[in-house]
Structures are given as structure tokens and as C-alpha cells.
Amino acid sequence: MNALILAALALAAPPRTFRVDYFHTGSATEERFALDRLVLEPLPFPGNPDRPVDDLDLGKYLFEVRERGTNRLLYSRGFSSIYGEWETTAEAREATRTFSESLRFPAPAGPVQVIVKKRDRHNAFREVWSLLVDPKDPTVDPSLPPAPAPVVEIHVKRPPERALDLLLLGDGYTAAGCRTFEAQARRLTAALLAVEPFRSRADAIAVRAICPPAAEPGVSRPSTGLHRASPLGATYDAFGSERYVLTFENRRLREVASRAPYDALAILVDGETYGGGGIFGQYATVAAGSLWAPYVFVHELGHHLAGLADEYFTSDTAYLPAERVEPWEPNVTALLDPAALKWKALATPGVPLPTPWDEEGYERRGKAFGERRKAIRARNAPEAEMDALFLQQKQEETARLGAEPHAGQVGAFEGANYAAKGFYRPQVDCVMFSRDDVPFCAVCRSALDRLIDLYAGPRAGGR
């Protein structure tokens, strides 16, 4: 009898997390993939067992795990990648680079085909790589990586398989500084849970934290000559953008993160200089010591969790102008057919499409502030001077946007996706558009709600 019970428990136990680490190589005109290693992570897979197949249609890429022999779809997820961003930069037209990336899914019982697909110019997914994975392959690495630091529970109400599990990782904090990291992690979690839809879904969000101690404080900022061998390798100046913070050390990141359950990752860096980043399905970053950290944290998680696009258009970016086709991101549109507006169900009745607003005046002021930011950086002025400029800009924009005739309405406002013309956002203001004290717009909230449903299940009683 005991043997039968043990067998039943073994069958009911969730599978461990399987990880495929691979290299993503290419340029603006070619793209290649190569296997790095196969890893069996130490913890059970944290995902919702009721939603193994992703039906959100988000991401530049999609990966599928299919059972060999039957071709049955076992698991899928949309995602974007550092490579996918880099290939749209000017550098990619002249150089070839390699990036490390990972795919994570429930450990299969037998051989599977892992298929990576990429969107074509019509947004259809086309296969770009396929890999046979046998969980019994002797090269699969099941070893336990070193424990970098204890896992701290910041906000946990449900088990991993019934929650959207967010793991916060510290980078650039010394052993003594990890106390500051934990305080910042709690502050930023509170900021996130104060914003809809996270506020009303707080029981469905689980937040944990790990702080691997650094030998010296801070992370790299190459534009100022600062380089640090931080545990996760986070750095400012990614793709030549001084505020863009990324890590290119994917192996290190995944080994540290494997010690806690997670569906999403955010890296908190020890720094006061405004900065952050977010890539759908990969991770978000934030300079946790910045005055603007709560805003940046929420904004970048919008990118990372739900694939939300940037809605602003007056700031410099490393990306080349986008072709005017309908974006896959849920909160921007090329408005090629106003009658088929992608967020038509949420649009305010009677609102004109496109929706008029003072775009010219806003763009003129935004560019003027941008020039002042450049001058501050050129002088390497104290961060307090930049903060003061941001505060002035925030006050002006809050008043300007709040006075718009269609403020608070859902329509199609031109200026989004880094372009002043040809792309449109749902509302005149949103967390994804400005640093104003405004919530996510209705379309962004809806996208985030669907994402939470995917990992935690729908809210009790429905919407």
C-alpha cells in the first residue's frame, strides 16, 4: 500500500524545470542558432499546469515543445530577445554578434522537438530553428549550482504554480549592501502592487528576491569609464544608449535565478543614475537607487511581462525607424484600417480616429528637454541636476496632457513606438508614454490582466 501511495505522489509531483541554453548569432541580414547546453534546473517548473500553451500571440519569437512521434504540442511561449532588439540597430548592419539565450519548460518524459519561430513582416510565425531534446541525454546537466544567497520572500500568497512568480535579483550590491537591496526590493514591490491591474490582483503575484554579493559596489557604465565585475554583469549604455541597462551574461543570470521559482525576472542594480530596461519574456532592469526607480520598475515590467511597446517618441533610441506594418505589441498600432482598430472593444464610443491632440506642441517641448538632458550628461553633472529637469518636465507634461480634450478616453493618438508619425497609442497618457503620475491605460491594463491569467489563472468571479 505504501508503495502505491508513493507511486501516486510521484506521478502527481510537478516536473522539474528543463532549460535549453543556446547561442543566437547574426546580423541585420542573417540569423543562426547553436546549442550551448541542456540543463535540468533544481526546482519544479513554476508555471500554471492548466495553461501550458500560450494563446496571447505576443513576442517577436515563439517556441514550441512538441512530443516526438505524435507531434503533440506540450508547451509554448512567446518571447522577445536581446538579439531581436540588436538586429534593428545600425551596428547590426555592419557587424555580426552572438548573444546567449535560454528556453525554459517543464521537463518532458521523453524526447521532444523544440521549435523556435520568428514573425515575418506580416506578423506570421515562421520556423527558424529546431532542436531534438532527449531528457535522458547523458549531457543534460542536473547539477546544483552554488547557492549565491538566501531566497527572501517579499510578497507570497500562493504556491508557484498558481501565481505569477516575479524574482528580483540584486546586482552590484556588496554583502553589506544587500540590506539596502532588500529594502529597495520591498519598496519597488509596494510600488508595483499600488498600480492596476497589479493592485487588484495582488494575491496572484508572488515576489521573491536574491542578492548575490558583489566584490565592489555598482555596475558598469562604460560611457564614463566605469567597469565592474558584478555578479550578473549588468551594465548601462547597452546598444550605446546611456540609460539602457542590460546584462549580456545570460548563463550567470540563469544559474543564480534557478535557485528560486520564477516566471519573470527583474534585476535591481545598485545605482542612482536613472536607467533601466525591459525585454518581453527575458527580464526587466532598474537602477534601484534612482529617484525615479518606482516609475522605471513599473514601466519596464510592462515591457517584460506583457510585451508592451514604448509609446513615447521624443527620446533618442538606438533602433532604426520601424517599417510601417502593424506591430505585434498590444498597445501600439499603425492604424492601417481605423475600422479594424486592434483595441476597438475598449475604444471610447464616438471618439474620432485618429484622435486629435496637440502633438506638435508636445513634440517641440519634448525635444527641448531632450537637448537639455544631453547637455547635463555632456558635463557629467550630478544626478540631482537631471532629477530636477525630469521633475520640471513631469510637471509641465502632466498639466499639458491632462488638459487635452480627449484625456482619459481611448482612441488612437498619433506618436508612439519611437515615431512621431505613422504609429498610434490608445490614450493620450500612460505609464508607457510619460513619467507622469498616471496609471497604465485601459489597453495596457487589459494586456497585463491576460498575462496574469496565463500564469495564475483568472481572478475570482471574473473581470
Question: CA–CA separation, 278 vs 17, rounded Å?
Answer: 23
Cell numbers given for 116:
523556435
Question: CA–CA separation, 116 vs 192, rounded Å?
Answer: 32
Residues 251 and 196 in one domain: yes
pLDDT over threshold 60, residue 5: no
Give the mean model confidence (pLDDT) for residues 328-353: 97
Q: Is the preceding omega at residue 352 within 30 degrees of 0, hence cis? A: no
CB 402 within 8 A of CB 390: no
Total Cβ atoms within 10 A of residue 323:
9
Q: Is 147 a member of any domain?
A: no
Total Cβ atoms within 10 A of residue 145:
16
Look at residue 401 in the predicted model and tell me its pLDDT: 94
Residues 187 and 295 in one domain: yes
Residues 156 and 78 in one domain: no
CB 116 within 8 A of CB 33: yes
Residues 158 and 281 in one domain: yes
Instruction: Give the per-residue SS3 of 307-372.
Output: CCCCCCCCCCCCECCCCCCCCCCCCCECCCCHHHCCCHHHCCCCCCCCCCCCHHHHHHHHHHHHHH
Q: pLDDT band for position 323 (50/70/90)?
A: confident
CB 127 within 8 A of CB 115: yes
Instruction: Give the per-residue SS3 of 218-230.
Output: CCEEHHHCECCCC
Look at residue 257 in the predicted model and tell me its pLDDT: 98
Residues 6+ apart with CB under 8 A from 197: 440, 445, 448, 449, 452
- 91: helix, strand or coil: helix
Residues 156 and 302 in one domain: yes
Question: CA–CA separation, 107 vs 46, rounded Å?
Answer: 11
Identify the residue with better confidence: 331 or 3: 331
- 251: helix, strand or coil: helix
Cell numbers given for 112:
521532444
Number of domains in the chain: 3
Q: Is 349 a member of any domain?
A: yes
Cell numbers given for 143:
547539477
CATH label of the domain that carries residue 282:
3.40.390.10
Q: pLDDT band for position 314 (50/70/90)?
A: confident
Question: CA–CA separation, 188 vs 194, rounded Å?
Answer: 10
Residues 275 and 358 in one domain: no
Cell numbers given for 336:
492601417
Amino acid letter, residue 252: R
Residues 6+ apart with CB under 8 A from 304: 264, 265, 266, 278, 279, 280, 281, 282, 283, 284
Residue for cell digits 541585420?
Answer: 28
Q: Is 111 a member of any domain?
A: yes
Question: CA–CA separation, 412 vs 304, rounded Å?
Answer: 23
- Range of weakest confidence among 4-8, 195-199, 219-223, 264-268: 4-8
Residues 280 and 175 in one domain: yes
- 350: helix, strand or coil: coil
Q: Is 313 a member of any domain?
A: no
Look at residue 307 in the predicted model and tell me its pLDDT: 98
Look at residue 7 in the predicted model and tell me its pLDDT: 44
Q: Is 316 a member of any domain?
A: no
Half-sphere exposure of 142 (CA within 13 A, CB side): 7
Segments forming the whole domain that contains residue 186: 152-306
Residues 286 and 162 in one domain: yes
CB 102 within 8 A of CB 116: no
CATH label of the domain that carries residue 33:
2.60.40.3250
Amino acid letter, residue 45: F
Q: Rounded to an integer, what is the distance from CA 49 to the centroid of its chain?
A: 22
Task: State the pairing for strand pair 264-269/31-44.
Answer: unpaired
Q: pLDDT > 70: what percent of the chain?
A: 95
Look at residue 8 in the predicted model and tell me its pLDDT: 44
Give the mean model confidence (pLDDT) for residues 426-453: 96
Q: Is 456 a member of any domain?
A: no
Residues 175 and 264 in one domain: yes
- 235: helix, strand or coil: strand
Look at residue 316 in the predicted model and tell me its pLDDT: 61
Give the DSSP letter string of 119-153. Answer: E-TTS-EEEEEEEEE-TT-TT-B-PPPP--S--EE
Residues 29 and 165 in one domain: no
